[in-house]
Amino acid sequence: MKIKVFLLMILLVIIFIITAIVLIAVFSSFADNRAVSDKAEITPVCFNGRCFNAEVASSFSARMKGLMGRESLAEDVGMIFSFSGEDKHAFWMKNTLIPLDIIWISKNKEIVYIAKNVQPCKSLICSSVSPDKLAKYVLEINGGKADEIGLKTGDKAEFELRQ
C-alpha cells in the first residue's frame, strides 16, 4: 500500500513539473512575440500616393517568420522584407492564414514582379513563388490590393529604410 501511495505521489510531481514547464514555455513565447511586435520598425511604402504602413523584416528571423500566424491584416498595412542584395527571392505561404499579394521591388525601387492573391498553404509541403527578375525588397499586402490600386510591373515604390 505504501508503495502505491509513493508511486502516485511521484506521478503527481512529474505531472506538476511537466505542466509548469509547458506553462513557462507558453508564457515566455507570448512575451517574446509581444516584444518583437512592440519594437517593430514601421515605414510607409507608397505607390502613386497610396501608402501602406509596412512592418520591416530585415533580420533573418523576421524574414523567416514574415506574416505567419496573422489572422488578419489591416487594409493599409503590410510587411516589407529587406535583403542584403538582389536575387530571385522565393516566398511561400506555409503557416500563413490570409491571402496575400507579394510584390518584388528592385534596388532602384521599381516593381519587377507581382504574385497576386497568393493563397495560404494548408498542406505539409508548400510550393514557393519566385520572381523572374532580381529584387532587393519584397512587400506583402492583403490579397487583391495590388489590383484594387492598379499596381503593375514598372511602377515606382517610395520608402526609406535604415541600413
pTM of the model: 0.72
Place of cell 511537466: 18
Rounded Cα–Cα distance for residues 11 and 23 (Å): 18
Hey, what's the cell of 21? 514547464
Classified as helix, coil or strand, 134 is coil
- CB proximity list for 144: less than 8 A, separation 6 or greater: 99, 101, 116, 117
Nearest-5° Cα angle at 68, 135 to 80? 30
CATH 2.60.120.1140 fits 42-148, yes or no: yes
The pLDDT value recorded for residue 28 is 47
pLDDT (tens digit per residue) in 111-143 = 999 999 999 988 888 889 999 999 999 999 999
The pLDDT value recorded for residue 66 is 74
CA of 2: how far to CAs of 6, 8, 11, in Å?
A: 6, 10, 14
